[in-house]
A = this chain, B = another copy of it.
Amino acid sequence: METVSMQNLRFDAHGLIPAVVQDAETNQVLMLAYMNAESLQLTMETKETYFWSRSRQELWHKGATSGNIQRVVEIRVDCDADSLLIRVNPEGPSCHTGEQSCFYRAYKS
């Protein structure tokens, strides 16, 4: 499979790239969060997900407090190299509400 490295990723003006997190076994989409270069590097080194919290403006180790860490199986890059797909084995629910996925509500116009 073709690969993409850090220097070819297109981070946005804030140095961030959106990361879709997907359960590698069920294929359920769990959440969307943002990574900067540091959090991506930590994710690769530890094989656990790290993100950049835009609201708290700090590095965020997913599951550090809740215990619901996400073990990384693989990371994919899209055709424009401006978004990531992180396939994981989650230790528990990915949403802070206790739901398995953050996408537990329906849109209704």
Residues of A near any B CB (own CB < 8 A): 1-6, 9, 18, 20, 22, 26-29, 31-32, 40-41, 44, 74-80, 83-85, 95-97, 99, 102-109
Contacts of A3 in B (CB 8 A): 105-108
CB-based contact A75/B1 at 8 Å: no
Can you give 23 A-B contacts (C-beta < 8 A)? A1-B104, A1-B105, A1-B106, A3-B106, A3-B107, A5-B107, A5-B108, A6-B109, A18-B18, A18-B32, A20-B29, A26-B27, A27-B28, A27-B29, A32-B83, A44-B109, A76-B103, A76-B104, A76-B106, A78-B105, A79-B96, A79-B97, A79-B104
